Amino acid sequence: MVKRTLHFSNPAHLSCKNQQLVVELKDEQRITKTIPIEDLGSVILEHPQITLTTYLLDELLAHKVAVVTCSQKYMPNGIFLPLDGNSEQTERIRTQLEASVPLKKQLWQQTIKAKIQNQAMVLRKLNLNATRLENLIEKVTSGDAKNCEAEAAAYYWKEIYGKHFVRTRDRDTPNAQLNYGYAILRSIVARAITATGMFPSIGIHHKNKYNAFCLADDIMEPYRPYVDWIVLNLPNIEDAEPEGLTREQKIELLKLSQLDIEINELKRPLFHAVSNTTSSLYKCFAGEQRKISYPLFHF
Q: How far apart are the first and last CA of the chain?
A: 22
Hey, what long-range contacts does 156-161 have (CB within 8 A, 24 or more apart)?
156/119, 156/122, 156/123, 159/123, 159/126, 159/128, 159/129, 160/122, 160/123, 160/126, 160/128, 160/228, 160/232
C-alpha 272/C-alpha 131 separation (Å) is 31
- Pairing relation of β-strands 66-70 and 40-45? parallel
pLDDT confidence band for 243 (50 / 70 / 90):
low
177-220: pLDDT as tens digits = 999 999 999 999 999 998 899 989 999 998 887 788 899 999 99
Annotated domain spans of the chain: 4-70, 89-296
- Which of 163, 159, 88, 100 is closest to 126 using CA atoms? 159
Q: Is the pLDDT of residue 296 over 60?
A: yes
What pLDDT does 81 receive?
81
Question: CB under 8 Å to 34, separation ≥6 — which residues?
Answer: 17, 20, 21, 22, 23
Q: Is 3.30.230.70 the CATH number for 4-70?
A: no
Q: Of 59-73, 79-93, 215-229, which one has max mean pLDDT?
A: 215-229
Tell me whether the CATH fold assigned to 4-70 matches the one assigned to 89-296. no
Per-residue model confidence (pLDDT) at position 162 = 93
Q: Is the pLDDT higher at 72 or at 152?
A: 152
- Predicted confidence at residue 226, as pLDDT, reads 98
Altogether, the residues listed in the chain come to a count of 299
Summarised one tens digit per residue, pLDDT across range 99-148 is 999 999 999 999 999 999 999 999 999 999 999 999 999 999 999 999 99
Burial of 54 (0-12, 13-18, 19+ CB in 10 A): exposed
Written out in words, the top-level CATH class of the domain with range 89-296 is mainly alpha
pLDDT of residue 124: 97
The whole-angstrom separation of Cα 220 and Cα 241 is 27
Query: Using the 8-state DSSP alphabet, how is residue 295 labeled?
Result: E
Mean predicted confidence (pLDDT) in 161-172: 87
